[in-house]
A and B are shown apart, each in its own frame.
Chain A
Amino acid sequence: MNVTSKTVQDITVIEAEGSIDSKTAGDFERGAMGPIQGQNAVILDISKVDFLSSAGLRVLLMIYRQIKSRNGKVVLLGASEEIQDIMANTGFLAFFILVDTLDEGIAALKS
């Protein structure tokens, strides 16, 4: 899997691509935790993530805790229906703002 980050209108955007399982969750963690240091608004673009296991959920939890400790918000962009299902089943979904486009994500964080 690949993780890249960029800044759009002062908001950190993390883009992940590929499968996040216990082999690759460490890459996801390293790729995301660095750029979100000190941030209180982050957009996680997972529209190109085709698979997310509990190892990936664990990283989402770490990101959420990091941002939440600064009273910030985490936006999930483009989560597939299947990933939304497993997040719903484990009570994760309600803690993230779900959007389909980057513009929606930025609007949600600027409001």
Chain B
Amino acid sequence: MENQTFPATLDSLDDLRDLVRDKALRANLDKKKTYKLMLALDEIATNIILYGYEQAGKEGVLDVITELTGDHLKIVVEDDAEPFDPLQKDLPGETDFSKPLEERPIGGMGIFLTVNGVDSFQYEYVNNRNRNIFIMNIQGTDA
């Protein structure tokens, strides 16, 4: 397990993507899975930074814990903002996505891409911290 701390500002998004890219490379994830994992982290981190911290007038950090095992890469993002479970938010669905773009609601797209992009997404609130958990299964060496 490795732990890295980032200031909870939008400037950290670049560094966060670099971290995920690096871990994904080590986990031998293919290009598409790497991109989806980077996107998922980016979307959730953005929500935490903008709504959990900035909108609440708080400063803080994101702790990113990575764990690579034989069959999966797990990345956990922890923060001290108010409890927020992304999975409790109403997500856009097929009916929204089939609407013309002129009438499209725009909210919730980031969480939708997160939940649909990773193999498993979980949320916990433990020790007064939000924990967003991203898991990518590792495919065989033929990938």
Residues of A within 8 A of B (CB): 19, 21-23, 51, 53-55, 57-58, 61, 64-65, 68, 81-82, 85-86, 89-92, 95
Is the beta-carbon distance between B97 and A90 smaller than 8 angstroms?
yes
Q: Which residue of A lies closest to B35 (CB)?
A: A82
A8 to B106, CA, bound (A): 32
Range, interface on chain B: 20 to 34
Also in contact, A86 and B46, with CB within 8 A (given A61-B104, A65-B102, A68-B101): no
B135 contacts A by Cβ under 8 Å: no
Task: State the Cβ distance, A68 to closest chain B Cβ, in Å.
Answer: 6
Q: Is the interface of A mostly helix, strand, loop or mixed?
A: helix
In the complex, which residues of chain A have a beta carbon less than 8 angstroms from the beta carbon of B11?
Answer: 23
Enumerate chain A residues within 8 angstroms of B39, measured Cβ to Cβ: 51, 53, 86
A92: chain B residues within 8 A (beta carbon) = 101
Contact B46 A53 (CB under 8 A): yes
Q: How far is the CA of A37 from the CA of B102 in the complex (A)?
A: 18
User: Are A91 and B50 also in contact (CB < 8 A) when A54-B43, A54-B113, A82-B35 are?
Assistant: no
In the docked arrangement, what's the CA distance between A7 and B46, Å?
34
Q: B112: CB under 8 A from chain A?
A: yes
- A53, B101: Cβ atoms closer than 8 Å: no
Cβ of B10 within 8 Å of any chain A Cβ, yes or no, is yes
Q: Which residues of B contact A64 (CB under 8 A)?
A: 101
Smallest CB–CB gap between B82 and chain A, Å? 19
Chain A residues with Cβ below 8 Å from B14 are 19, 21, 23
Chain A hits for B50, CB < 8 A = 22
